[in-house]
Amino acid sequence: MDALPEWPDGTVATLTTHGDGPHAIPVSLVVRAGPLALLVGLAPRRESLARLRADPRCAITILAAGDHAFTAHGRATGFEDANGIVAARIEVDAIADHNRPTYAIEDGVQWRWTDDAEQRRDADTRAAMRTLVEVDPMMLPADLPDPEDDGAAEHLPNSQLPAVALPATDGSTVRLDQLQGRTVLFAFPRTGRPGEEAPGGTERWNAIPGARGCTPQACSFRDEHARFAEHGVRVLGVSTQDTAYQQEAVERLHLPYPLLSDERLELAGALTLPTFEVEGTTLLKRLTLFLRDGRIEDAIYPVFPPDHSAAQALARL
C-alpha cells in the first residue's frame, strides 16, 4: 500500500505509542491529511499525547468499511489546537496492508454518539482538523492536482551550470558551477508559514498543479539528510524567495542544509528553469537536479507528490 485510503468519519482507530513500552488506545478522531499523513485528535491531558511528545514514534491501525484494514507506522511531527482538542500530525513512513482475500469488512467499527452535544462537538472538531489540513503548510490535501510533464526540463541534463553566485541561508555565497563532487539541488515555488495565506488565497494556490507542498518537500530532505550524506551527496534547496524569508523556514523546520535564494532569477534565467507566476511573482516549478563537478547530470520533473521528493532523489542516486 503506497498511500492512505479514505475511511468514513467516526471509524474507530487504535493509536499505539512507544515511550517506555507499547501503549494502545482507541481513538475516533483520525483525519487523512495527505497520501502519507494524518491528524489524530487527542484530549490535551491524554496520556498518549504526552507519550507522543516524548517519543514521536507511533502506529495507527484502522479497520473500516470498504475493506480498509491497515496499520500506518510513522512519527508525530507537530501539534495544533483544533476546537480544544490537540491535533497531532503523523507523518507516515510505512503502511502495512492487513486485507486478505478470505474476508471482507462489512461495516467497520464506528462510534455511535448517544449525546447530542458531544456529537456536535465532534463534528466541529473534525471541521477544525480539516481546516488545519487546508491552511497548514505541513499538511497536504488529498485532492491536489498532479502536475503534468510539459517538457520544460528536457534540456537540463548534461548542461553546464552558469557562473551565478546565490546567497545561502548559512551566510555563504554559493557558485553551483564551482561545487566539487555530487549535489542534489531541489527547486520549489515557496515555503509557507503557519497561519499565513498562500498567494492568491489557499483555494487558488491548491488548484495550481505542483504549487502546494514545499514545506513537506523540504522536510523530506531533512528527514533523509543522513542517507544523502552516506552517499557523499550534499543537499541544497533553491527558490525565488529572499534569504530572510528562507532563513525563518530553515530555523522553524530545523533544516540541516542551506537554502539558496534566486530572488533576481539569475539561475532561472541562465538555465531556463520552468517557472510560473502568481500575483505578479515568478516562482520556480518543483524539480530536482543532480549535479556533479559543475554540470547537471540528471533531473526529475515534475516532482509529485512533494513529500516523496527526497525518496525519489535517493532512488535515482
Query: Does residue 171 sit in the same domain as residue 118?
Result: no
CATH code of the domain containing 225:
3.40.30.10
pTM: 0.65
Q: Please state the rounded mean pLDDT for residues 131-153.
A: 77
Q: Is residue 268 part of a domain?
A: yes
Please report which confidence band the pLDDT of residue 35 belongs to, taking 50, 70 and 90 as the band edges. Answer: confident
pLDDT of residue 230: 96
Query: Does residue 99 sit in the same domain as residue 172?
Result: no
Q: How far is CA 26 from CA 45, 78, 111, 244, in A?
A: 15, 20, 11, 44
Domain that holds residue 172: 165-316
Q: Please state the rounded mean pLDDT for residues 34-62.
A: 86
pLDDT at 142 over 80: no
Query: Does residue 174 sit in the same domain as residue 268?
Result: yes
pLDDT of residue 242: 97
pLDDT at 234 over 90: yes
Beta strand pairing call for 85-97 and 68-82: antiparallel
Instruction: Name the 3-class secondary structure at 92.
Output: strand
* 228-265 burial: b if 16+ Cβ within 10 Å, else e: beeeebbbbbbbbbebebbbebbeebebebbbbbbbee
Whether the Cβ atoms of residue 300 and residue 154 lie closer than 8 Å to each other = no
Query: Does residue 186 sit in the same domain as residue 65?
Result: no
Query: Does residue 131 sit in the same domain as residue 185?
Result: no
Please state, for a pLDDT cut of 90, what percent of the chain lies above it: 50
pLDDT at 39 over 90: no
Query: Does residue 20 sit in the same domain as residue 109?
Result: yes
Q: Is residue 4 part of a domain?
A: no
Query: Does residue 83 sit in the same domain as residue 28?
Result: yes
The size of the chain, in residues, is 317
The last residue of a domain, from among 115, 135, 155:
135
Query: Does residue 106 sit in the same domain as residue 22?
Result: yes
- Tell me the per-residue pLDDT of 67-113, one tens digit each, with 9 for 90 and over: 778 999 998 887 877 778 888 888 888 998 887 666 565 555 555 66
Q: Is residue 155 part of a domain?
A: no
The last residue of a domain, from among 117, 135, 153:
135
- Tell me the per-residue pLDDT of 181-233, one tens digit each, with 9 for 90 and over: 999 999 999 998 766 778 888 889 999 999 999 988 998 999 899 999 999 99
CATH code of the domain containing 42:
2.30.110.10
Query: Does residue 199 sit in the same domain as residue 298?
Result: yes
Q: How many domains does the structure of the chain reveal? A: 2
Q: What gap in Å lies between CA 12 and CA 10, rounded to an integer? A: 6
- Provide the mean pLDDT of the chain: 87
Whether the Cβ atoms of residue 270 and residue 263 lie closer than 8 Å to each other = no
